[in-house]
Structure 1
Amino acid sequence: MSEKNIVPNKIKIENCYESYRPIFNEILGKIENLLKQNIHLPSNPTYKSRIKSFSSYYKKILRQKAEESSSGKGLVVLTDMIGIRVICAFVEDLALVEKQIVDLFSVKEIERKGAEQSFKEFGYESVHILVSIPENCLPETGLSDDLKDKLVCEIQIRTILQDAWAEVEHELVYKSEFNPFDKPLRRKLASINASLTLADIIFQEIRDYQKRLQSELGARRNSFYEKADEFSENLLGCSKPQGFKDIALETSSFSRNSIDDLILAALHEHNVGNFKSAIEIYTQIINSVPTPSDLVLSVIFKHRGMAYFAQNLYEEALSDFKKSIDYDPKCFKSMYYQGIVYSVQGKDQEAVACFDNSLLIDAFQSHVYYRRALSYYNMGEYSKSMDDVNSAIMLGLSDNDLNALKMKLVKKFDMGM
């Protein structure tokens, strides 16, 4: 009988494989820690790791008709014995993780499973990267130089939905070693896979929208506060903080097919200084049919009020901030903005009342304490002003204006007020 026809000795093969398991586990733990320390995403990925079970290992080497499987004298090295899965929230994260893995490891192969499938098929999508085991992840003893060279780790990258589908598909198809032949059943599987893929795409679109929205909101808030700061800077004798940039005028490129699109368009027009255009879009949202919810109206009136404020239209701004509060009585931001308008108008008592109302809802607003401290200072209430300055500092606020106000108050106390 030739050697190729020798019946494999399963017990010897298992003993050989299991003798390496502690070494594989040590390598796996070190690589997982390396990934966790070096993979950086806006949303934290999760990790699944495993050493291939002997049952799966044995079936695979028999399928591959590996020569060593017949004797059990040496370890048959497979590419997926050591595996780690990086599971991401969004499609955009996949490319980021792949790049960081390529930068971190010596890559032997990258396979994009499912990329070649048509919409009629139901296989899972996944990026599989084979990497060499880094020197600092190898054990000091227990591995020959030959095995060190052959061993690899398979790192898979998937979204949460891709991973969910792969797990179910593995149970339904791979483990059973049977692909359904019934066309209606195959269509159902393909439909589920398509639905999950569509869900991933929609999640990414929502994520992209949120990023654009947060960017526009951040710029809009900054422009509002910069205008409000002009008042306090004149009072305190401070210069504008370094790093301030005037907003460049440009044409909006946002579509206007839904309320979400209109909000983005309005915020963009607002941020680039096209205040009249922004107000027109805000007004269009307010008057849209069907009528937006109270929460949406509260937000839009708040934004329109800020646009009015940017044009020194203080009464219009106050009116909109009040309407924002009418639609959402817990909108502490609108109460705060209302207080800023009153303070710019020199109506410090009214401003303090608004700041009080805002702090009743959220007592941890350092900037509100600072603004109220300014109003108290203007009213000659220096002790109350200093209390608010200290509260703002305790909450972590630290800037030139706050420090300047504190120095003015210290001088007042030194002079016996």
Structure 2
Amino acid sequence: MMSSNQLPFSEVIEFYKSEETQSVLDQFLNQVEHFFKTNPTLKRAKAIHSIKARQKDPEHLRDKLLRKQSKGVIITKDTLFREITDLNGVRILHLYQQQFPLIHNEIMKKINEMEDWKLVEPPKAYTWEQESQHFFEELGIRTEVKDTYYTSVHYVVKPNNSKSDITCEIQVRTLFEEIWGEIDHTINYPHETESIACREQIRVLAKLVSTGTRLADSIFRTYDDYMRQEKK
């Protein structure tokens, strides 16, 4: 028999999976993805390597609802869109860190100048190393250190329409960071592994990824300098 605690979750999941809800979510997800695919400034600069778009898996949503409940937050179908802001997700991957400011500027232009989107919360850069913290803070992005060594920049946007609570989480990271994220996600999501060895290896991988990202920046700076010299 289904308990009284399980019933609200089942109602929320069924509401989330309904054709009507999926259609509304799809419309905004497609709009966000389309912006990055067609943005002329980003295309000319070849600032984006690839784009991934997804909607949250229903079972992952159920797990998140349970975690929220454990913290005293009960979510219903009426509050789902306000409380869970990553039902839609678009991930932007770029080759090296110096491409990020242009991507960030185009996102903020979409919000501040075009006024098509509204920020649900200020952008946040998750990082664990001091050099990256300074890099993001100089761009006016607040930073947060994750003990897990997770690295990514998050934006949560919604249509600039007070009647809509539909959101999309935009993640921006380098390809090196994506490799780390995929491995960590496979092992630690939705529940963290209890293997101490795996945890340590993932942290070592984070340090290798950081080194790779800095080396990629150095390679492209060297290449740009070389091309400028060739044109003289």
Q: Distance in 1 between matches of 2:195 and 2:189?
A: 11
Contact 1:126/1:162 (8 A) holds in 2? yes
Q: Which runs of 5+ in 2 are unaligned?
A: 112-117, 129-143
Q: Name 1:100's counterpart in structure 2.
A: 106
Q: 1:42 to 1:35 in 2, by over 3 A?
A: closer
1:199 pairs, out of 212, 218, 223, with 212
Q: Which residue of 2 aligns with 1:114?
A: 127
Give the CA deviation at 1:61.
1.8
1:55 and 2:62 equivalent? Answer: no
Query: Which deviations, in whole Å up to 9, do the C-alpha atoms of 1:305-331 show, x marking residues without a partner?
Result: xxxxxxxxxxxxxxxxxxxxxxxxxxx
Matched, 1:211 2:195: no
Percent identity over paired residues: 19
Separation (CA, whole Å) in 2 of partners of 1:125 and 1:87 = 12
Q: Distance in 2 between matches of 1:83 and 1:187?
A: 28
Spell out the pairing of 1:143-158 with structure 2 (5 A cutoff). Answer: 145=163, 148=164, 150-158=165-173
Whether the 8 Å contact between 1:28 and 1:49 is mirrored in structure 2 is: yes
Partner Cα distance (1:57, 1:47) in 2: 22
Among 83, 86, 90, the alignment partner of 2:89 is 83
1:79 is paired with a residue of what secondary structure?
coil
Deviations 1:346-386 (A, max 9, x none): xxxxxxxxxxxxxxxxxxxxxxxxxxxxxxxxxxxxxxxxx
Q: Which residue matches 1:13?
A: 12
For structure 1, list consecutive stretches of 5 or more residues without a partner in the other structure. 136-143, 220-417
Q: Which aligned segments of 4 or more residues in structure 1 are displaced greater than 6 angstroms?
A: none
* Preserved contact between residue 28 and residue 166 of structure 2 (Cα < 8 Å): no
Given that residues 156 and 170 in structure 2 are in contact (C-alpha distance below 8 angstroms), is that contact kept between their aligned partners in structure 1? yes
- How far apart are 1:132 and its partner, in Å? 2.0
Q: Which has the higher helix share?
A: 1
Q: Distance in 2 between matches of 1:186 and 1:7?
A: 33
Q: Deviations over 1:273-302 (max 9, x none)?
A: xxxxxxxxxxxxxxxxxxxxxxxxxxxxxx
Contact 1:113 1:125 in 2 (8 A): yes
| 1:172 aligns with one of 160, 163, 187 | 187
1:192 offset after TM fit, Å? Answer: 1.5
Counterpart code for 2:157: V
The equivalent position to 1:181 in structure 2, one of 178, 185, 196, is: 196
Aligned residues: 197
* Structure in which a larger fraction of residues adopt strand: 2
Amino acid paired to 2:5:
V
Matching residue within 45, 60, 74 for 1:67: 74
Residue 55 of structure 2 contacts residue 89 of structure 2 at CA under 8 Å; is this kept in 1? yes
| TM-score (ref. length: structure 1) | 0.44
SS in 2 for 1:85: strand
How well do the aligned residues superpose, as a CA RMSD in angstroms? 2.3
Q: Is the 8 A contact 1:123 1:169 kept in 2?
A: no
- State the secondary structure of the residue aligned to 1:177: coil
Match of 1:29 in 2: 30
**Judging changes above 3 Å, is the alpha-carbon distance between structure 1 residues 12 and 175 closer, same or farther for their aligned structure 2 residues?**
closer
What is the TM-score when the length of structure 2 is the normalising length?
A: 0.76
Q: What SS is found at the alignment partner of 1:67?
A: coil
> Which has the greater radius of gyration?
1
Shift in Å, 1:122: 4.7
Compute the displacement of 1:6 (Å). 4.1
Quick one: distance in 2 between partners of 1:134 and 1:33? 17
Structure 1 residue 46 displacement after superposition: 0.9
Larger relative contact order (CA 8 Å, sep ≥ 6)? 2
Counterpart in the other structure of 2:156? 130
User: Which AA in structure 2 matches 1:33?
Assistant: H
State the alpha-carbon separation in 2 of the partners of residues 191 and 169 from structure 1: 12
Q: Output the amino acid matched with 1:189.
A: I
Q: Determine if contact 1:111/1:129 at 8 Å carries over to the other structure.
A: yes
> How far 1:210 sits from its partner (Å)?
0.5
For 1:110, give the aligned amino acid: P
